[in-house]
Structure 1
Amino acid sequence: MMCSGLATETVTMTEFGDFISAVGKFGLYQKLLVLFLSLPLLLNPFQMIGQVFMVVDVPHHCNTSWIRAVGPNLTEEEQLNLTLPRDADGAYEQCSMYSPVDWDLDSIVAYGLNATEKCNNGWVYPAAQPPSLLTEFDLVCDRKDLTDISQSVYMVGLLLGSIIFGTLSDRIGRRPVFLISILLQGLFGVGLAFVPDFYVYMAFRCVTGASVSGILITDLSLATEWVGASYRTKAVVISHCFAAIGQMLLAGLSYGIRNWRLLEIAGSAPMFALFFYIWVIPESARWLVTKGRIEEAKKVLQKAASINKRTIPPGLLEQLKPETKTKPGSVLDLFRKKHLRKVTLIMLCTWFADSLVYYGLSLNVTSFGLDIYMTQLVFGIVELPGRLSCIFLLQWFGRKKSQAVLLLLSGLMCLIITAIPEDQHVVITVLATIGKFMATASFSTSYVYSAELFPTVIRQTGVGLCSMSARVSGIVTPLIGLLTQYHRAIPMAIFGSVPVVMGLLCFLLPETCGVDLADNTGAATTQLSSSTLENLSKRDTASME
């Protein structure tokens, strides 16, 4: 599902690679294609994290206007003194009030009120506060948990989208699914700004999450299936960098627009500007060949060659034939072989941990104590070097060490945060930023590493299963945040301990840097000696330069 583009190799992949070489492995055509495919990712962070800035906590208290019937001349302060209990710090309780009584005002003042109850008539918020999800749908007190539940519903949408659109992209093509996903994200994203009820809002969020997942799947497929094998990591990282830029845009957008409905429109409406993609986004030539649509594949390949100022030899084009059918693998194959079972279980846990620490830090931007907009901007800034560093880390240190160490360090940052006093906001934010850098790099590493660990006949199934594990983690992450009601350190301790354990398990994986991809499930991935790995890394670095 996710990373399906990295997983569509067949027994004739080498032959099709000749056509990509003839067209140009990463020419102007591919560069423009990656650019167009990456533009929608600028808005994906808004859909994923934007809600955080719509439910910022504000002062509130129960609506006690009932007393105005017997004391119309009471000042606001007198009204609150008579109708609201105070907490241990002397502040008015936010979620309880004194029970209304049928007394006159003099009796209320003389005897006072003692019995308390929950807010039964709504809440009162600061008059100057711009409309937000919190104030409009009363996401406070007993309804406060709906905020985290809504984030989990969005993650459910991501999971459903990876299942639905992953299958559709293999059946009807990458291009139509990509265009449909853009349309759905635009329609339901803008539609969120007009919902009358929070439960309708959550339903729309679920559909929006599914559309985001569809974009991510087809974006990755189209980008990697159109470039040469040696440029796939670069194509993936470029797309991820646009998501990082989107994180920074989110900070500025949410800072400038405080009305949540206008913010929804501003973060979703630009999708409609991408409708020209109907004329510029091509279908995957590789996918067309697998479906036997040879003439269509020839046309798109010739167009790509023309833009790259290359010419495909006529004799080579005549050799373009439908790929030989191979027996597809199944999920069971991942668990039948001992070496595949180990790889599958560890990578499932790795993707789960990646998602847990990444979203755990991203969705808790309001809890670090500093200005949330500045913190979000910093989070976006550190994602860029986090993504780009993978290109070099994977070559210099190999896949296994990079994956293990990055996951370990991201978890350690979260664990250290639990030991920092709550009032040390700067220290906490710095540690969270370092953790976000490591988590981002770890997530990007997992995309590349997983595609190399699974054999060709089962690669799409294996990577898709890992993606589903990450989506399950995404669903659980906001719910873990609810544990703050027991102790503020519990969620961050979970976000830290899981990646540390999973990072240690990654040392049990085989190294895949410079190793030919396995085509079948018969043998484990060959390990390289450290000297061989070093020589390959130097060679790859030199080729990039």
Structure 2
Amino acid sequence: MTEFGDFISALGEFGLYQKLLVLLISISLLLNPFQMIGQVFMVLDEPHHCNTSWICAIGPNLTEEEQLNLTLPRDADGAYEQCSMYSPVDWDLDSIVAYGLNATEKCSSGWVYPSAQAPSLLTEFDLVCDRKDLNDISQSIYMLGLLLGSIIFGPLSDRIGRRPVFLICMLIRGLFGVGIAFVPHFYVYMAFRCVVGAAEAGIMIIALVLVTEWVGLSHRSKAVLITHCCFAIGQMIVPGLCYGIRNWRLLQIAGSAPVFALFFYIWVLPESARWLVIKGRIEEAKKVLQKAASINKRTLPQELLEQLKPETQPKPGSTLDLFREKHLRKVTLIMVCTWFADSLVYYGLSLNVSGFGLNVYLTQLAFGGVELPARCACIFLLQWFGRKKTQAVLLLLSGLMCLIITGIPEDQPVVSTVLATIGKLTATASFSTSYVYSAELFPTVVRQTSVGLCSMSARLSGIMAPLMLLLEQYHRAIPMAVFGSVTVVVGLLCFLLPETRGTDLADDMGLEDIKGATPQTSGRSLETLSKKGTTKAGGDLEKDNYKFSESKL
């Protein structure tokens, strides 16, 4: 039977139709970084002190400085304490001035902030002192939303289609993203952020699937890379937007409302022809393929279209299958740890952008800028040095940068920021490498399951990364030490993996391609298979990569 890859080749592997599709997907991904890192700019540290207006009832003619001198203790540097105050008393003003106040307590009537500052998330919901941890907790809630979105929208897109789920996720992102700007309480804010995170995960998953299912094999990595680069461009746009709009509610609207400008996607975003074929909707698939061929100025022969039939997919393996075979068990455990470390250091550095001492807007601009060369460099690194060395070395470099930062004095913010930028670059490249490496390491029958398991590990570490930043209250070096040590250990483990550059992709649990196999080659291990230098036929490779494209990334 004719492989589906033959239809993609006939209509053009990366013609005008696919380029327009990649453009549509890329535009939607430009908006994703705002939801991920926008909160960093809404909770910038501001001077504050306890509200001690109680003394105004006793001494209404006191100046602000006199009021603060009488009601606030000072720290070791002589500055007013930000999180404690002298306990209110029912004395007269002369007694307070003569004897002073000694007993202290935590702020009981809220805080006072500079009146000239525009309303921020920090000042409106008092994310200071005992409530400071809510900021990092809310970031973890957003990461929880990413996890839930991966679990919910991935299977849903397999069931009802890529296009409708993508549009639903965009609608949810727009509605709840704008809705965040009107929340009355911080706990409602966190709940809305969780929903937005779930929608963001669905958009990222389906964007990858649509691109990989429409673009031919030889251009697939390039097309996916373009969408990744647009995500990086979005990261560079965020600091400029946040710098220009300081009111957090207006900023939230400005970062979320543009999704409604993409309403025309309802008419122009195509369904995956490959998904239509698998679901047996052959006539719909023919119409979509003919439209794509027409835009690409190609003609699909009628004889070829008549051969379009539902493809028989092999029965997928289960998660338990990954741990039954010794060689698969080792690969699975190491790759789960690799994705965990990738996500931990990536989000750990991204969300700590305000903790390196330099201007937070310039730091984020640098962080977004390094993602472009990082993703582009992956193409050449994987070709020149192979998968194993590239994955291991990139993780080691990321971890080492974090560990070195722990030894940099606080009065050297430039050095810390440069090291963090290098760490973000290598972490980004490592994350991109993991996508490619995982697809090649696992056999077809468990590829979707295995990459889904790895992705879940990454989401869990994404939830943990903001919580790790809370350890900074005990010592500023602890978060970076954790990020660095975990990543270095996992980087060393990657040297135990087999190399997959130029090797045949395995289909069955024995890691041996059934087609053309001989009794002597049956049941080869992954290590043995990795030594083969053969290349699978284009049709089989197309099917393997399609399996990967449906993974819950």
Q: Determine if the alignment matches structure 1 residue 20 to structure 2 residue 20.
A: no
Letter in 1 for 2:367: F
- In the other structure, the counterpart of 2:117 is 129
Instruction: Tell me, yes or no, if structure 1 residue 150 matches structure 2 residue 116.
Output: no
Q: Name the CA distance, whole Å, in 1 between partners of 2:295 and 2:167.
A: 23
Q: Deviations over 1:422-455 (max 9, x none)?
A: 1101111110111111011111111111112121
Equivalent residue for 1:472, pick from 450, 460, 467: 460
> Match for residue 7 of structure 1?
none
- TM-fit CA distance, 1:527: 5.0
2:252 pairs with one of 250, 260, 264: 264
Cα deviation 1:180-215 (Å, max 9, x = unaligned) = 111111111100100000000000000000000000
Hey, what's the Cα distance between the residues in 2 that align with 1:40 and 1:430?
Answer: 30
Partner in structure 2 of residue 483 of structure 1:
471
1:429 paired residue number: 417
| CA displacement, residues 341-365 of structure 1 (integer Å, 9 cap, x when unaligned) | 1111111100000000101110011
Distance 1:414 1:456 in 2: 36
Q: Secondary structure at the match of 1:310?
A: coil
Q: 1:129-177, CA deviations, whole angstroms, 9 ceiling, x for partnerless residues?
A: 1100000000000000000000000000000000000110110011111
Which residue does 1:382 correspond to in 2? 370
Partner of 2:546: none
The answer (yes or no) to whether the contact 2:503–2:533 under 8 Å persists in 1 is: no
Q: Is the 8 A contact 2:211 2:224 kept in 1?
A: yes
2:67 alignment counterpart: 79
Cα distance in 1, alignment partners of residues 70 and 529 from structure 2: 75
Q: Tell me if structure 2 keeps the 8 A contact 1:160–1:210.
A: yes
Matched, 1:439 2:424: no
Aligned match for 2:329, one of 341, 348, 352:
341
SS in 1 for 2:105: strand
**TM-aligned CA deviation for residue 111 of structure 1:** 0.8
- Whether contact under 8 Å (1:23, 1:301) holds in the other structure is yes
Partner of 1:287: 275
**Larger RCO (CA within 8 A; separation ≥ 6):** 1
Match of 1:224 in 2: 212
| 1:230/1:512 CA distance change after superposition, 3 Å | farther
Alpha-carbon distance in structure 1 between the residues aligned to 2:501 and 2:18 = 24
Secondary structure of the equivalent of 1:488?
coil
CA distance in 2: counterparts of 1:130 and 1:87, whole angstroms: 27
Equivalent position SS for 2:195: helix
For the 8 Å contact 2:214–2:273, the answer to whether it is kept is yes
Q: Distance in 2 between matches of 1:88 and 1:385?
A: 46
How much does 1:26 deviate?
Answer: 1.1
Q: CA deviation at 1:487?
A: 0.4
Partner Cα separation in structure 1 for residue 531 and residue 155 of structure 2: 39
* Aligned counterpart in structure 1 of residue 176 of structure 2, from 162, 170, 188: 188
| Cα contact 1:233–1:448 (8 A) shared by 2 | no
What amino acid is aligned across from residue 11 of structure 2 in structure 1? V
TM-score, structure 2 normalization: 0.92
Using the TM superposition, give the Cα deviation of residue 325 of structure 1 relative to its aligned residue in structure 2, in angstroms.
4.1
Q: 1:357 aligns with which of 324, 345, 358?
A: 345
Distance in 2 (CA, whole Å) between partners of 1:318 and 1:402 is 45
Instruction: Return the letter of the residue paired with 2:363.
Output: T
- The answer to whether the 8 Å contact 1:357/1:496 transfers is yes
* Contact 1:282 1:300 survives alignment (8 Å): yes
CA distance, structure 1, for counterparts of residue 312 and residue 94 of structure 2: 92
How far, CA to CA, are the matches of 1:314 and 1:405 in structure 2?
51
1:246-303 Cα shifts (integer Å, max 9, x gaps): 0100011011111100110111001001111111111111111111111111111111
Q: Comparing 119-128 with 402-411, which one deviates more in the overlay?
A: 402-411
Residue matched to 1:452: 440
1:404 to 378, 388, 392: 392
1:46 corresponding residue in structure 2: 34
Counterpart residue number, 2:502: 514
Q: Which moved more, 1:133-142 or 1:501-510?
A: 501-510
- Mapped partners of 1:532, 1:518: distance in 2: 12
Structure 2 Cα separation of the partners of residues 531 and 191 of structure 1: 55
Structure 2 partner of 1:201: 189
Could you say what the CA RMSD is over the residues aligned between the two structures, in angstroms?
A: 1.4
In structure 1, what is the equivalent of residue 544 of structure 2? none
Deviation at 1:326, TM superposition (A): 2.3
Name structure 2 gaps, 5 residues minimum. Answer: 512-524, 536-553
- Deviation, 1:327, is 1.7
Letter in 2 for 1:241: C
Which amino acid in 1 is paired with 2:192?
F
Query: Aligned equivalents of 1:303 and 1:280: distance in 2?
Result: 12
Match of 2:232 among 241, 244, 259: 244
Q: Deviations over 1:498-523 (max 9, x none)?
A: 11111111111122222232111112
Structure 2 matches for 1:55-94, cutoff 5 A? 55-94=43-82
Amino acid at match of 1:488: R
Q: 8 Å contact 1:511–1:527 — kept in the other structure?
A: no
Contact 2:346 2:424 in 1 (8 A): yes
Higher alpha-carbon deviation: 418-427 or 517-526: 517-526
Letter in 1 for 2:265: Y
**5+ long unaligned stretches in structure 1:** 1-11, 534-545
Aligned residues between the structures: 521
> Counterpart of 1:97 in 2: which secondary structure?
strand
Contact 1:286-1:297 at 8 Å conserved across structures: yes
Q: Equivalences for 1:306-317 in 2 at 5 Å? A: 306-317=294-305
Q: Tell whether the 8 Å contact from 1:60 to 1:94 is kept in structure 2 after alignment.
A: yes
CA change 1:401–1:532 in 2 (3 A) is farther
SS at match of 1:518: coil
391, 407, 414: which one aligns with 2:379 = 391
Q: How far has the Cα of 1:232 moved from its partner?
A: 2.0
Preserved CA contact (<8 Å) 2:335 2:454? yes
> Which amino acid counterpart does residue 83 of structure 2 have in structure 1?
C
Q: Which amino acid aligns with 2:153?
A: F
**SS at 2:317 equivalent:** coil
- Secondary structure of the corresponding residue to residue 258 of structure 1: coil
Distance apart, 1:102 and its partner CA = 0.5
Q: Which amino acid aligns with 1:226?
A: W
Moved over 4 A (4+): 526-533
User: Which residue is equivalent to 1:304?
Assistant: 292
Once the two structures are superposed, residues 379-411 of structure 1 have per-residue CA deviations (whole angstroms, 9 ceiling, x without a partner) of 111110011111111111111111111111111
Q: Return the letter of the residue paired with 2:430.
A: S
Higher mean C-alpha deviation, range 485-494 or range 37-46: 37-46
Which is further off, 123-132 or 447-456? 447-456
What TM-score does the superposition give when structure 1 sets the normalisation length?
0.94
